[in-house]
């Protein structure tokens, strides 16, 4: 069983997934960050593949991508860094990024390398679900990789149900139409949206991302979903005055 599915089978709610940008703060920090997140009790990790035009990302993640690219990060180097990752952790690992670098690498080569290194899934926001189904789903199945779909407050019920139907993992619930890191708290419109999804009784588990930055927002979204994804707030924490392990462990303790 794919590690993503196994996680949701074993753990009932309050799942914590953390996103970071590979190659940030320094080029060779990837394994250290994953190792420390595992030690801190995180359930799943999303590894960002930096891209020069991250349109859905807010300023914090955009800046981390710019620095990572200047540091020399690319997909090939990332796979090299992850070559022995399964000696470090058994957590589900997801690669998140944009389709252009993946196309340049070659989709089948990319998925084959994901399988080889122990990556469990991808999140590619600008890969249309219809294109995925028509052209790439057989490759994902062949290499036992799960593609995660996103829903937003603007998604129709019909589209949400369609994405739920084709999903083989979890649904990424984007909490807001703003970019990542664009909100600091949730209001009534957000909770109405979360309740709407809850009332649809979807078959797929749901994790909420965008806007989760502290224990309060984490607990709030966990009332209406299976857990939360934290990105911008975690990346900001890496810039603390302590060592990288200290900054990571301190931040996770503020969430749980």
For the question of residue 57 being annotated catalytic, the response is yes
Between CA 41 and CA 49, with CA 46 as vertex, the angle to 5 degrees is 145
Q: Which residue among 36, 57, 120, 164 is the active-site one? A: 57
For the question of residue 46 being annotated catalytic, the response is yes
Q: Which residue among 36, 43, 46, 164 is the active-site one? A: 46
| Catalytic sites, residue numbers | 46, 57
């Amino acid at each position: 069983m794919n590690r993503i599915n196994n996680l949701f089978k074993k753990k009932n709610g309050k799942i914590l997934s953390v996103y970071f940008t590979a190659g940030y703060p320094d080029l060779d920090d990837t394994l250290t960050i994953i190792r420390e997140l595992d030690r801190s009790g995180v359930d799943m990790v999303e590894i960002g593949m930096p891209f020069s035009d991250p349109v859905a990302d807010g300023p914090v993640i955009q800046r981390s991508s710019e620095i990572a690219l200047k540091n020399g990060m690319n997909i090939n180097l990332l796979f090299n860094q992850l070559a022995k990752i399964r000696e470090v952790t058994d957590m589900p690992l997801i690669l998140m990024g944009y389709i252009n670098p993946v196309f340049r690498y070659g989709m089948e080569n990319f998925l084959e390398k994901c399988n080889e290194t122990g990556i469990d899934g991808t999140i590619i926001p600008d890969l249309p679900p219809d294109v995925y189904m028509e052209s790439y789903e057989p490759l994902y199945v062949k290499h036992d990789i799960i593609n995660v779909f996103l829903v937003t407050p603007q998604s129709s019920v019909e589209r949400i149900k369609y994405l739920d139907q084709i999903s083989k993992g979890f649904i990424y619930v984007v909490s807001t139409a703003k970019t990542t890191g664009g909100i600091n708290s949730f209001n009534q419109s957000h909770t109405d949206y979360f309740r709407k999804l809850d009332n649809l009784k979807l078959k797929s588990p749901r994790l909420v991302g965008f806007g989760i930055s502290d224990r309060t927002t984490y607990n709030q979204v966990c009332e209406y979903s299976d857990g939360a994804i934290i990105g911008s707030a975690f990346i900001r924490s890496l810039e603390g005055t302590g060592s990288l392990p200290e900054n990571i462990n301190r931040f996770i303790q503020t969430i749980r």
